[in-house]
Amino acid sequence: MENTIVKVENLSHRYAAQWAVRDINFEISGQGVVGLLGTNGAGKSTTMNIICGVLKQTKGEVYIAGVNLKDNPVAAKRNIGFMPQKLPLHYDFTVEEYLTYCADLRMVEKTQVKKSVAEALERCGVAHFRDRLLRNLSGGYQQRVGIAQAIVHNPKFVVLDEPTNGLDPNQIVEVRNLIKHISTDRAVLLSTHILTEVQATCREIKMIEEGQMVFSGSLEMFNNYIEPNTLVVTLDAPPLTEVLMTLEGVKSVEQLTPYRFRLGYDGEKKTAQRVAAESVKNEWGLMELVVEKSSLDAVFARLSKKNNH
């Protein structure tokens, strides 16, 4: 892959007797947000901790910008920024002191520290709070500082583990916008078990279930993965539900209101067309016909199930 920033090869990890991650392979290149999706305990944090050099894998290799993380951790980590699930904040520091400390830890050149901190403060929208103690920031702003520490050394690749966990709806929107903003000039790997998060921010999805990669592709591919299987119709002069049941391809009928029905169907385009044609022919007064796409939750359940067999 061109401009590969992360390459994960046959990655496996075992805690005591249990394998948490089995034989994972992927590459990430360019800019934008890649979602690492999985239910709780799927293996996301384990994978991220290994990629960021916090945990040593049992098997396999991780390359960051071509540098093997196991063989050359210091050089590899120069290109990684990491925000773990539990924020690594020192609450008695001011925002600026903390970011300066992080820049030192990240080996930013002494002459560049001030500039790097100023850029991270600005980029993450916390410059006006530079003198405030971390303990006195709201959850949303603490999260912003968490992101700022991950980009203070201007890495090509940033890993964010469940970055909107515990935030209120407004803070979630703001943090998601910030993530999109910082991903315009770097690749971001974002782990979440929230499907709407992926839809709101990611260009690509990797899904892990029970330690194995069960899907890797664009958000569009993920959304299209399963055929639609319900139709919602609104009829001004509806027939009895028993009549709707007799339409070819219709498998179930749920009456939502006196005029609205959800039809379970076989997913065939022809069936939707037939429902429309029958409505016109029988003068049922067709007002609305919507093909409902299966939710990402359904895709999630189906992909997990499919790969367990």
Ligand X SMILES: Nc1ncnc2c1ncn2[C@@H]1O[C@H](COP(=O)(O)OP(=O)(O)OP(=O)(O)O)[C@@H](O)[C@H]1O
Residues that bind ligand X (CB under 6 A): 15, 20, 38, 40-46, 193
CA distances from 207 to 60, 129, 204, 224, 307 (A): 19, 37, 10, 15, 11
| Euclidean distance between CA atoms 281 and 295, whole angstroms | 32
CB of 143 to ligand X, least distance (A): 17
Query: Which residue lies nearer to ligand X by CB, 84 or 228?
Result: 84
The residues, any chain, with a CB within 8 Å of residue 132's CB and separated by 6 or more, are 94, 95
Query: Which residue lies nearer to ligand X by CB, 59 or 193?
Result: 193
Residue 148 class from Cβ within 10 Å (0-12 exposed, 13-18 middle, 19+ buried)?
buried
CB of 92 to ligand X, least distance (A): 28
Total residue length of the chain: 309
Query: Which residue lies nearer to ligand X by CB, 11 or 178?
Result: 11
CB of 213 to ligand X, least distance (A): 12
Q: How would you classify the pairing of strands 18-29 and 4-15?
A: antiparallel
CB of 85 to ligand X, least distance (A): 6
Query: Which residue lies nearer to ligand X by CB, 124 or 303?
Result: 303
| Euclidean distance between CA atoms 144 and 87, whole angstroms | 10
Query: Which residue lies nearer to ligand X by CB, 15 or 91?
Result: 15
Of 291, 300, 245, 297, the residue nearest 272 (C-alpha): 291
CB of 146 to ligand X, least distance (A): 16
Angle at 10 between CA 39 and CA 25, to 5 degrees: 60
CB of 29 to ligand X, least distance (A): 24
CB of 16 to ligand X, least distance (A): 6
Of 282, 284, 238, 277, the residue nearest 261 (C-alpha): 238
Query: Which residue lies nearer to ligand X by CB, 39 or 224?
Result: 39
| Euclidean distance between CA atoms 117 and 101, whole angstroms | 10
CB 45 within 8 A of CB 161: yes
CB of 284 to ligand X, least distance (A): 48
- SS3 assignment, position 289: strand
Of 83, 57, 2, the residue nearest 211 (C-alpha): 57
CB 237 within 8 A of CB 307: no
Phi, psi (degrees; rounded to nearest 5) at 97: -60, -45
Query: Which residue lies nearer to ligand X by CB, 120 or 175?
Result: 175
Query: Which residue lies nearer to ligand X by CB, 43 or 249?
Result: 43
